[in-house]
Amino acid sequence: MKRLLLLTFLFPFFSSAQEYVDLFRIGYGQTFENSFEGVDSNTSVKSFEAGFTFPVVLNENHALITGADFSSNNLQLFPEAEYTSLYSTNIKLGLASTWSEKWSTTIVLLPKIASDYKNISSNDFYMGGFALLKLKKNENLKYRFGVYASQEAFGLFTTPILGWYYLSPNKRFEMDMSLPISADVSYKLGITTIGVDYFGIGRSYNVHYENLPTLYADLSSLEFASYLQFNALEESVLLRAKLGYSSNNYEMYAEGDKIDLGISAFSFGDERTQLNPSLNGGIFFKFEAIYRFHIKEKSKAQEPNNN
């Protein structure tokens, strides 16, 4: 009964092209070594992420999107310094709407608190969000057009989103693209899946030091990885091992030292003074576990047998 109730909530909004929704995701990763430029010092970066998404149906054409994400990163921000943990927690609140057989939209607000979580104040609160317009080309292909924007400690950041979702007729080859933010290409081999993915992220965190002015870390990261995935419990639980390259760079700046505007990979009016050496990229590994709810397969299983 619970699975049937969940199916009733999810089906109107996720049944075209993409045949599933990832309700829960958790991951842990670590770089082997990131060296500081110009000095004989290096650090590792340990990361942890967890998040869930759950839609609540309002009527047959609109659903409320709810959820939350949490992430932490542990590293040395300065050569030979103590390790610092940086945290980000955001709430997801939005609306998914179906306007016709071909057109649909998703609008989501992403308020967050991002800092080392010492002396949390309103200065650690930021507002962000994204909007997507989706066009269903056919049963196997859907296009995405949108924009993401977020307040950060360094100023306003925004980027366009162009992408598509494609699933081959035999359901083995899959492409899930939302450029320049993320990309995932995979091929299913029975209970295992092989793939490559990319994730680009820009975040900021306020950092509080005792008896010193507040600083902030400006994170710029591009992750490229290949992965091997085990599909368990009728492909509802995905266990993924990843190995790749990450360009993690945590630049430190004084609070209030900002840019005029950031658009994708470009910064305008950036006259900031960086306070720490830049970090070089490094090899990383990561383990992820995903709970995936399949829609069309479950809907067929719920259909009455008329024979």
How confident is the model at residue 19, as a pLDDT?
65
Q: How far apart are CA 132 and CA 159, in angstroms?
A: 12
Radius of gyration from C-alpha coordinates of the chain? 21
- Which pair of tokens denotes residue 197? 């993915």
Collect the ranges in the chain with pLDDT lower than 70: 1-19, 265-266, 295-307
Question: What pLDDT, on a 0 to 100 scale, did the predictor assign at position 262?
Answer: 78
Short-list 239, 198, 237, 227, CA closest to 285 = 227
Q: Look at residue 107 and tell me if it is in a domain.
A: yes
Rounded CA gap, 161 and 154, in Å?
21
130, 147 contact by CB (below 8 A): yes
Rounded to 5 degrees, φ, ψ at 9 are: -70, -40
Which residues, 6+ apart, have CB-to-CB distance to 78 below 8 Å? 252, 276
Helix (H) or strand (E) holding 198, with range, is: strand 192-207
Instruction: Tell the residue number behind the tokens 């609008």, with chain if given.
Output: 107
Q: What's the domain count of the chain?
A: 1
Quick one: CA torsion of 11, 13, 14, 17, rounded to 10 degrees? Answer: 120
**C-alpha 302 chain-centroid distance:** 32
- End-to-end, the C-alpha distance of the chain in Å comes to 23
Give the global pTM.
Answer: 0.86
275 — phi, psi (to 5°)? -100, -10
Residue 32 CB burial class (10 angstroms; 0-12, 13-18, ≥19)? exposed
What local confidence, expressed as pLDDT, does residue 2 receive? 35
Range of the domain at 269: 2-302
Q: Report residue 271 as tokens.
A: 């006259």
Q: Report if residue 80 sits inside a domain.
A: yes
The per-residue pLDDT of the chain, averaged, comes to 87
pLDDT score recorded for residue 261: 81
Range 101-126 burial, b when 16+ CB lie within 10 A, else e: eeebbbbbebbbbbbbbeeeeeebeb
pLDDT at 260: 82
Query: Does a structural domain hold residue 307?
Result: no
Q: Express each pLDDT in 76-116 by its tens digit.
A: 999 989 999 999 999 999 999 999 999 999 999 999 999 99
The whole-number pLDDT of residue 163 equals 94
Q: Which residues, in sequence order, are CB contacts of 160 under 8 Å at separation 6+?
A: 146, 147, 264
- The answer to whether residue 70 is domain-embedded is yes
